[in-house]
Amino acid sequence: MYDRYSAMQTEYVFDGKEIAQQCGYGVRLNTRQVMLPKSIKTFPSSTKIASSDDTNWVRKSVFVAYLEKLSS
């Protein structure tokens, strides 16, 4: 569909009280299409769109590391 190119929507995510240690970029995923291991924490979508029930945010660094591990 995208001729081997892809795009990931990013947004800043927060998951704790200590902002300096608990914030970072996240990517939005459709969790009905992308099956993640239970060890990867997801965050509810902050924007209300038609498919917001199916979308969650995942820390970008965690998701990219997971993809790199799969490609090895």
The answer to whether position 42 is within a domain reads yes
User: How far apart (Å, rounded) are the C-alpha atoms in residues 64 and 20?
Assistant: 21
> What pLDDT does 50 receive?
47
Question: What's the domain range around 50?
Answer: 10-71
Task: Phi first, then psi: give them for residue 70, nearest 5 degrees.
Answer: -70, -35
Please give the single-letter amino acid code of residue 51.
S
Whether the per-residue pLDDT at 20 is higher than 90: the answer is no
Residue 48 has pLDDT above 70, yes or no: no
Give every strand in the sheet of 55-59, ordered side by side.
10-14, 23-30, 55-59, 42-44
Q: Kindly state whether residue 60 falls inside one of the protein's structural domains.
A: yes
Q: Is 2 within the bounds of a domain? A: no
Tell me the average pLDDT across 53-64: 84
H/E stretch holding 66 reads helix 60-71
Number of domains the chain contains: 1
Rounded CA separation 16/22 (Å): 5
Indicate the pLDDT class of residue 4, thresholds 50, 70 and 90. low
Mean pLDDT of 26-49: 79
